């Protein structure tokens, strides 16, 4: 038998209360219906702005319709979790986007959502089918949260909630009971502000709410598996993993609260590391430091590639000798090539001959190209 409106309101209130007890910072409810953003999403894909993230082309019909994604779904409980930390540049020189400074959020948020799903089952008295998701299902989660009234989509293409900002994880539980909805969509409060567009060093925000991932520092340092395009390396600056620039400049994040959730607190080991340290990591050290970390998404070779770029952008002449040593020892061609580039950015004419000797012994075409590029750069400065 269908629930009366008053019963739905009581159940929604109970769910929201339990969700907040579990650590979620905002909760809303939306009926499972097709999202209006499907056409824009398909156009974004056709333009190739997703880069090498081919998985985003899969399950397009499911992404815009939660009822198709999980048959029987009638409502979606959408939640936000604040992960904001005070800084992204840590003492040792690592600049890590805030969402990755703590433990990997997937497992813990899944645990909390399963507890909430069990609560919904108990409170409703029905055999409720539920499916929790947080970056783990083909859903346009940002647009679902917007439709649920949890915020608006800012010009940086992120969900912004007044009073909470944009440093939030979006998660949802799909349920097969009709919970109704009593929240209107939030108005767009970006106004004429263009701080995020103006601040992006690589010009990745090509239009309000349109990101070209191929230029985004987060994509380049996390999702891209091959070489970072040489023209973009200097623009990455000291960002080792991800980027928060478009969030840091947003006025709505100025007074956003810092998360006190232990899940999101910055790991002490990250505070001690320097970018150059990462180039010495072997697999065992990588597993030790990044166990249960979202930074494992980039894999060891990706982190070392990024570290080489950061050293090339921010290092000094004193770093050249260690870089030469790593260039000789490193097994991964991807990493060797970026180390060679860093040497070219920092080295003086005295290292040219040493690079030429290494070039003679190198067999990988990509690494040879990067070494020669650095030799030419050094010779031009002579």
The predicted-structure confidence for 244-300, as pLDDT tens digits, reads as follows 999 999 999 999 999 999 999 999 999 989 999 999 999 999 999 999 999 999 999
Phi, psi of 50 (to 5 degrees): -85, 0
Cα gap 295→130, rounded to integer Å: 29
Give the pLDDT band of residue 347 (cuts 50, 70, 90): confident
> How far does the chain reach from its first CA to its final CA, in angstroms?
83
For residue 373, give the 3-state DSSP assignment: helix
| Tokens matching residue 233 | 């390396």
pLDDT band at 1 (very low <50, low <70, confident <90, very high): very low
Residue 321, pLDDT score: 96
Residue 38, helix vs strand vs coil:
helix
Q: 159 in helix, strand or coil?
A: strand
Using only C-alpha atoms, the chain has a radius of gyration, in whole angstroms, of: 23
C-alpha to C-alpha distance for 13 and 23, rounded to whole angstroms: 16
Confidence of residue 215 (pLDDT cuts 50, 70, 90): very high
Closest CA to 172 of 223, 109, 121, 229: 109
Token pair belonging to 64: 């815009």
In the DSSP assignment, the letter for residue 190 is -
Decide: helix, strand or coil at residue 174.
Answer: strand
**Quick one: pLDDT at residue 2?**
67
> What confidence score (pLDDT) does residue 127 get?
66
The CA distance from 160 to 252, in Å, is 7
91-117 pLDDT, tens digit per residue, is 999 899 999 999 999 989 999 999 999
Question: Of 70-74, 123-127, 167-171, which gets the smallest average pLDDT?
Answer: 123-127
Residue owning tokens 């070392």: 304
What tokens does 55 get?
């998985």
- The answer to whether residues 270 and 90 touch, using CB atoms and an 8 Å cutoff, is yes
pLDDT at 205 > cutoff 70: yes
**37/82: higher pLDDT:** 82
**pLDDT value at 77 more than 60:** yes
Is the separation of the CB atoms in 259 and 85 below 8 Å? yes
**pTM for this entry:** 0.94
Residue 107's Cβ-side half-sphere holds a number of Cα atoms within 13 Å equal to: 8
C-alpha count within 13 angstroms, C-beta hemisphere, residue 307: 25
The band of 125, judged by pLDDT with boundaries at 50, 70 and 90, is confident
- What SS3 class is residue 170? strand
126 Cα distance to chain centroid: 37
**Alpha helix locations (H) across the chain?**
5-21, 38-46, 60-63, 66-69, 105-124, 141-147, 195-199, 217-218, 233-236, 245-248, 268-272, 275-278, 283-290, 299-314, 320-329, 333-346, 352-361, 365-381
Catalytic residue list? 135
Q: What is the DSSP letter of 180?
A: -
């Amino acid at each position: 038998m269908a629930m009366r409106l008053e019963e739905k309101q009581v159940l929604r209130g109970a769910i929201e209360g339990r969700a907040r007890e579990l650590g979620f910072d905002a909760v809303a409810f939306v009926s499972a219906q097709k999202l209006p953003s499907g056409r824009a999403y398909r156009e974004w894909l056709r333009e190739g702005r997703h880069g090498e993230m081919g998985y985003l082309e899969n399950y397009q019909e499911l992404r815009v319709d939660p009822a198709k994604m999980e048959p029987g779904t009638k409502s979606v409980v959408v939640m936000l979790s604040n992960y904001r930390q005070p800084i992204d540049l840590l003492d040792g020189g690592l600049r890590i986007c805030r969402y990755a400074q703590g433990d990997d959020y997937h497992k813990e948020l899944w645990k909390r959502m399963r507890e909430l799903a069990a609560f919904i089952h108990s409170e409703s008295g029905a055999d409720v089918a539920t499916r929790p998701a947080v970056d783990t299902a083909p859903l346009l989660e940002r647009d679902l949260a917007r439709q649920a009234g949890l915020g608006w989509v800012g010009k940086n293409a992120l969900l912004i909630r007044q009073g909470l900002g944009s440093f939030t994880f979006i998660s949802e539980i799909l349920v097969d009971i009709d919970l109704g909805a009593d929240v209107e969509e939030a108005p767009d409060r970006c106004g004429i502000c263009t701080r995020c567009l103006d601040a992006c060093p690589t010009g990745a925000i090509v239009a309000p709410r349109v990101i070209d991932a191929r230029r985004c520092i987060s994509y380049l340092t996390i999702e891209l598996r091959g070489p970072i395009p040489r023209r973009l390396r200097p623009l990455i600056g000291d960002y080792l993993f991800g980027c928060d620039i478009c969030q840091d400049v947003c006025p709505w994040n100025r007074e956003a609260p810092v998360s006190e959730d232990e899940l999101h607190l910055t790991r002490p080991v990250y505070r001690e590391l320097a970018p150059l340290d990462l180039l010495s990591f072997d697999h065992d050290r990588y597993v030790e430091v990044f166990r249960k970390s979202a930074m494992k998404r980039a894999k060891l070779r990706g982190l070392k590639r990024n570290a080489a770029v950061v050293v090339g952008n921010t290092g000094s002449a004193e770093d050249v000798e260690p870089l030469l040593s790593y260039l000789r020892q490193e097994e991964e061609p991807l990493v060797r090539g970026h180390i060679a580039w860093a040497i070219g950015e920092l080295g003086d004419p005295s290292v040219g001959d040493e690079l030429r000797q290494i070039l003679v012994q190198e067999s990988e075409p990509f690494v040879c190209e990067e070494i020669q590029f650095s030799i030419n750069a050094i010779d031009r400065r002579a």
